Structure formats: structure tokens, C-alpha cells
Structure 1
Amino acid sequence: MEERDWELLQTLFKYKNITKAAQELFISQPTISKRLREIEQHFGVTIVQRGRRGVQFTPEGEYLAKSAEQMLRHLRKIREHVKDMNTAVVEGTLRLGVSNYFAKYQLPRVLKRFKDEHPHVEFQVQTGWSREVFQWVYNQDVHIGFVRGDYQWAGKKHLLFEETLCVAYREEFDLGDLPRLPRIDYRTESLFKGIIDNWWAEHFEQPPYVGMTVDRVDTCKEMVIHGLGYAIVPRRILHDAPHLYKLDLTGREGTPILRKTWMIYHEEVLALKIAKLFVDLVEHLDDW
């Protein structure tokens, strides 16, 4: 079995369609069919069954497809370590999983600083929700992840910064005014939404009056700036909107409600020179 065969199995299992798999792999459909037959002959099993709606994997085929992910991950780690051993120059590709917010507001300057020190290093960055980043790190699809919120992580982690949550509105207000004011909601992590919902339940008996829901926190901020309602957001997002009125969220004990941002990774990742250097740089940054 060659690496390309494992890639074929992984891609075909993802799409369950030979045409889409061929497009993804930049090879012809007959080539995929031929290589599938060779893999089936190699293992002596039937891997897929063709139907009107694509291909269906047999139990043996599904096992091999899921094994393909492990094999490709293992081969990638071998290449990374061999390359790391055979050069005095810091080089290679660092794979990062980053929450959308961190990718926009924090990551560029971190990568620039690291690139200035190690110009031969390349980056492969995947962005998404923190729950997705957490899963990427857990599955070792990326070397290092940056997540917002408190996830139960058994590996190594480093607290980067904490953000106060606040209510922002264009006009002066009291917290008691909120139930009658229009709120602008936005798509966010379930963990973060739970924090806001719990805070609201502790302070008000009636549900909030949600005037609109938007896709991103940046869009939400613009709506608040234009006087269309209030929003509950991390205070850091409002650094360029000093004219807005802001009240920090506190719990019943009067303690501020915070949202934390973490760097997480598996300890074994530090065996890679580029990963250890990157972790060291991030841990010693104090200008978040």
C-alpha cells in the first residue's frame, strides 16, 4: 500500500462519490476504479459497492478507510520528525488550528514575529469555531490550537488572556433597562452562549427582546454602533468604539464574568523543533 492509496480511501470515504473524489485528487475516474481494484486484491476483500447514489463502503472497506486517516497522520509525523532531525536551520510547516476571532485579531502579528525570527518556517492555518479547533488538536490534525472558553483538556495548555464580558449600547443605560431594549444576537460558541444565558437568568425573569440575529460578532458591533440595539460581547472587541456605553457583566458575588483564551497542544508536539520554538514565543508574549 502506497501513501496515495490511503489518500484515495480517505477521500472516497469522505465523499462517497467517485466523481467528487477524482476531482479532489486530480485524477481520472477510471484511475480511481483501477486503484480500488488493486487495493481490493491486495487485501482480498470488497471495499465498496456501487449504486445510483454513489458508493457504499462494506464493513471491511469502512475499516480500511478509517485506518487510512491514522496511517496518513503517522506518515506525516514521520516526515516532520525526519526533516526536523536532518537540518540545523529551523524549517518545516507548522499546522495551527485557530478560532475565528483569534485568527483575525491576534494571530497575524504572532505569525509575523515568528516568521521574522525563523524565515524558513511555513504555516498551515485552519480556522473555525473553538469546538472544531479543540477536535483538530485532539485528533492531531494540527500541532497547536488556540481556543476561547474553558474546555476540558488533558494535554498541555497555556492561558493567553482573559476578557471581560460587557453590555454595549450607543446610549447611556442601566442594566435594569435591558429587558425592554432590543438586543442584537450573533452566532457564537455554545459555551459562550451558555454563559450569557445563565447571567441573564440570574438577573431577569423575562426573556430578552431580541431585535435581530446576525452571523458574526463584527456585524453585531456595527449594528450597535449605529444605534440598532445593545449587545453582550467581550470588551476587547470594542477597543475601537470608545463612544459606546459599556457595563461589565458580574455574577451574584460581584465578580466579573470573564472569557479565557488558551493555547492547547499535546506534549509530544514539543519534540518538533518548530513547535517548541513557537510555543516558547507565544508563552512569553506579554502584549496581548
Structure 2
Amino acid sequence: MNEKDWELLQTLYEMKNITKAAEKLFISQPALTYRLRSLENEFGVEIAKRGTKRLQFTSEGEYLVEYSRKMLNELAKTKDQLLNMAGNIQGHLRIGVSSHFAHYRLPTILKDFLAVYPNVQVNVTTGWSTKISQKLERKEVHIGIIRGSYEWKEQSILLNEENVCLISKNKIHMGDLPSIGRISYKTDPIFDNMIKDWWNHHFSQPPMVTMEVDRIETCKEMVRNGLGYAIIPQISLRPHDQLYNRILAIDNHPLLRKTWLIYSNSALDLSVVKAFVQFVTTQLRQQAHSL
């Protein structure tokens, strides 16, 4: 069992589908199936049951998946340490980032960082903050950038906090909201609960959700066409959106959405991680002084 096998098992477990896993690994389906059978013969266990739609991993298969995850992490850690021993700022920086922050803010940060440290290779994983924090706990990423309030026992830096806004094509009266269609989008549970708390504080009847979309940009496009209103974090608003927006509050306290950079103390042993943390911290200080 080698590195390619570890990656194969991780991909199969993620996709739960041989065809999709083969596409992601850029190998043929027969080649993937053959290698999976070879691993089963090598260990004398059935790794996954072939269903009509999804693979179902056996307990032995899940054990091997966890083993492969640990081995890939150890291999990546070893490579990082060897590059770190050279004394230069180089190597791989693995960052897990909230999807919204990755879309609206991360590109500029990475562009500026790589201009200073061109020998660094950045690997970015995006997703909901819950999954990013889990990846950091499993040491699959060096640094997490998450939104909302999550318990993290080690190092954290407040990157940003922005208001939560109600957006619409034209100005609307807040008292009319229960009778106006809302366009909702998939978001993390913490932000969803924040919106529910605000609504319940102001209204005794539920909102009239007329559309549910998967992305915030799709949501904004629906609002732009006068199909309803939406509630979004201010980070998602851009000047060219040309939407009416109103900051939401409870008892005159604005709803705030916070973004945190989190990492473990041991991660700072890697020069590339330390450089990124220092770079972001310096940027924050410069932004504060310019205000």
C-alpha cells in the first residue's frame, strides 16, 4: 500500500462512486476497480460493497480509509518539515477557508502574500466553517479561516466583522416583510440561527420563503430582478450590485458576522505558516491605521 493507494481510498470515500472517483483521479474506471480489488486481496477484507448508486464502506474499509488519511497527513508533514529545515520561506501552505471569504476576500490576500513569498505553494480547500474547523482538528490543513462563533482552544485572530443586511431591489418597509417573498440560500447553521433570532425578535409569524437557491450570487441576482428580498452578510455586497440595503439590528445592536483565522500552536513551527500569520496580522494593522 503506497501514497497512490491512500489517495485512491480517500477519493473513493469522498465520492462514494467509482465512476466519479476515477474522473477525479484521472484514471480509468477499470483501473480503479482493479486496484481496489488488489487492496482487498492484499488485506483479505472487503473494503466497500458495490451498490447500484453508491459505495458502502465496510468497517474494515473505513479503518483503512482512516489509516490512509493519517498516512497522507504524516507524509505531507514530513515534506513540510524537510522544506522548513532549509531555512527559507517555501513549501506548501494548506488553508481551509469559508466559501464566502474565499470568494470575496481571499484572492487579494493570496495575491499579495505570494508576491512577497513566490516560492510558497498554496493549497486551498473551501466549504462551510464547520467542515473547515474539523479539517483543522484532523490536521488536514495548517490554517482555518472560518465565519461565526466556533469553539477553538488554540490560536485565533479576528480578521473581520461586518454587518448583516437586508437587500431588495427597491426600498421596502420592514413591517411588510412577512407578506413579501424571501429568497434564501444555503448557509451554515450559525448564520441561519442568527437570522432566525432576528426574525423572531421582530415578527410573530414565519417568513414567506418563496425561493431557495444554492449560492449567494444566485440569490442576489433574483433580488436584482425584483423577485423578493434576502438577508446576507455585508461581505457579499459590492458597489456594482446597486441594491437597496439596510443593516439589521436587535435592540439597536447591529447583527455582526465575524471572520476568524485559527491555527494550532504547533503549526507555527513551520516557517510558511508563521509567515502567513504574520503577513495577515500586519495587513490588519495597516488597515486599522488607515481608517
> How far apart, CA to CA, are the structure 2 residues paired with 1:56 and 1:246?
47
C-alpha spacing 1:188/1:9, structure 2 compared with 1 (3 Å): closer
The equivalent of 2:110 in structure 1 is: 111
The equivalent of 2:46 in structure 1 is: 48
- Specify every segment of 5 or more residues in structure 2 that has no aligned partner in the other structure, as ranges: none
The equivalent of 1:271 in structure 2 is: 269
| Residues 21-71 of structure 1: per-residue CA shift (max 9 Å, x gap) | 67738483445544543x43xxxxx22278664987665554344222212
> How far apart, CA to CA, are the structure 2 residues paired with 1:274 and 1:149?
26
Residue pairs, 1:45-124, within 5 angstroms: 46-48=44-46, 53=51, 59-60=59-60, 62-85=62-85, 87-124=86-123
> How far apart, CA to CA, are the structure 2 residues paired with 1:188 and 1:106?
18
Deviation at 1:107, TM superposition (A): 0.7
Residue pairs, 1:276-287, within 5 angstroms: 276-286=274-284, 287=287
Deviation at 1:6, TM superposition (A): 4.2
Letter of the aligned partner of 1:208 in structure 2? P
Seq. identity, %: 43
User: How many pairs are equivalent?
Assistant: 280
Q: Answer yes or no: is the 8 Å Cα contact 1:166–1:233 preserved in 2.
A: yes
Deviation at 1:117, TM superposition (A): 0.6
The equivalent of 1:185 in structure 2 is: 184
C-alpha spacing 1:102/1:257, structure 2 compared with 1 (3 Å): same
> How far apart, CA to CA, are the structure 2 residues paired with 1:122 and 1:161?
25
The equivalent of 1:43 in structure 2 is: none
C-alpha spacing 1:160/1:18, structure 2 compared with 1 (3 Å): closer
> How far apart, CA to CA, are the structure 2 residues paired with 1:231 and 1:88?
50
Q: TM-score, with normalisation over the residues of structure 1?
A: 0.84
Partner SS, residue 206 of structure 2: coil
Letter of the aligned partner of 1:200 in structure 2? W
> What's the C-alpha RMSD, in Å, of the aligned pairs?
2.9
| Residues 146-196 of structure 1: per-residue CA shift (max 9 Å, x gap) | 111111111211111111112222323332121122222112111111110
> How far apart, CA to CA, are the structure 1 residues paired with 2:17 and 2:234?
46
Residue pairs, 1:186-225, within 5 angstroms: 186-225=185-224
Letter of the aligned partner of 1:258 in structure 2? L
Deviation at 1:14, TM superposition (A): 5.5
> How far apart, CA to CA, are the structure 2 residues paired with 1:78 and 1:58?
30
C-alpha spacing 1:200/1:26, structure 2 compared with 1 (3 Å): same
C-alpha spacing 1:20/1:92, structure 2 compared with 1 (3 Å): same
Partner SS, residue 250 of structure 2: coil
